[in-house]
């Protein structure tokens, strides 16, 4: 017997909600109230790596959730391998707060520590992107997508998904030049993901024209 994708989406949304909550808790632990010996402006200034890592990680988690939400609109049935691929993607998503915390703690450390934590961070987002691509590839291959989905749109979504790991690698390469530059590039990638592309939900204006 086949199942629809509703339980998968509900479970996945729960994981994303927990990840965002964990990041918020980590942010509270780095609040200025923790540093009682410092003035608030100094405490905020000294904790800037944690705040920057939070903004970037929240943006990446939001980007992944948007992509997951848009992709699973087209999935009408699930099978065991697709469930496994989705679980493995969520495994990496759930690891993002841990690697982001490491990155923030070592942003001003020695170059070796900076590169190691940056490698762990990019490994996490690359692992997520890999299993995201595998999920889409498998759903297309096993005909688990909506039968009315335009094949041209399906191919466009595939090309879009393949581009994300490449851009992550470009951002990681910047670590060897300047760690801060790498983080800025992650922010740029998050900003680019907000531009509407094939597979995204249409705007309200598009619906009105239809």
Task: Give average pLDDT by consecutive 10-residue segment, the chain, 210 residues.
Answer: 81 92 77 60 72 82 89 92 95 89 77 82 88 95 92 88 84 76 78 72 52
Tell me what pLDDT residue 35 has.
52
Q: Please tell me the total count of domains within the chain.
A: 1
- On whether residue 193 sits in a domain, the answer given is yes
Reference 117, options 128, 127, 105, 126; nearest CA is: 105
- On whether residue 98 sits in a domain, the answer given is yes
SS3 at position 3: strand
- On whether residue 17 sits in a domain, the answer given is yes
- On whether residue 1 sits in a domain, the answer given is no
Looking up tokens 């592309």, which residue turns up? Answer: 197
Domain range for 157: 6-209
Tell me what pLDDT residue 164 has.
83
Q: Count CA atoms closer than 13 A to 139's CA, side-chain side.
A: 31
Tell me what pLDDT residue 159 has.
87
- On whether residue 113 sits in a domain, the answer given is yes
């Amino acid at each position: 017997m086949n199942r629809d994708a509703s339980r998968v989406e509900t479970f996945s949304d729960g994981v994303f909600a927990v990840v965002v909550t964990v990041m918020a808790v980590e942010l509270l632990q780095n609040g200025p109230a923790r540093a009682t010996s410092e003035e608030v402006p100094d405490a905020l200034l000294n904790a800037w790596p944690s705040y920057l890592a939070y903004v970037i990680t929240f943006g990446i988690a939001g980007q992944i959730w948007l992509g997951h939400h848009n992709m699973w609109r087209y999935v009408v049935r699930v099978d065991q391998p697709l469930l496994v691929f989705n679980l493995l993607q969520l495994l990496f998503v759930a690891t993002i707060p841990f690697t982001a915390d490491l990155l923030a703690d070592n942003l001003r450390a020695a170059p070796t520590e900076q590169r190691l934590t940056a490698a762990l961070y990019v490994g996490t987002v690359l692992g997520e992107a890999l299993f995201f691509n595998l999920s889409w590839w498998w759903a297309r291959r096993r005909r688990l997508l909506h039968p009315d989905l335009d094949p041209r749109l399906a191919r466009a979504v595939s090309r879009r998904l393949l581009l994300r790991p490449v851009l992550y690698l470009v951002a990681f390469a910047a670590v060897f030049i300047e760690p801060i530059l790498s983080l800025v590039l992650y922010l740029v990638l998050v900003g680019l993901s907000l531009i509407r592309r094939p597979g995204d939900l249409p705007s309200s204006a598009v619906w009105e024209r239809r």
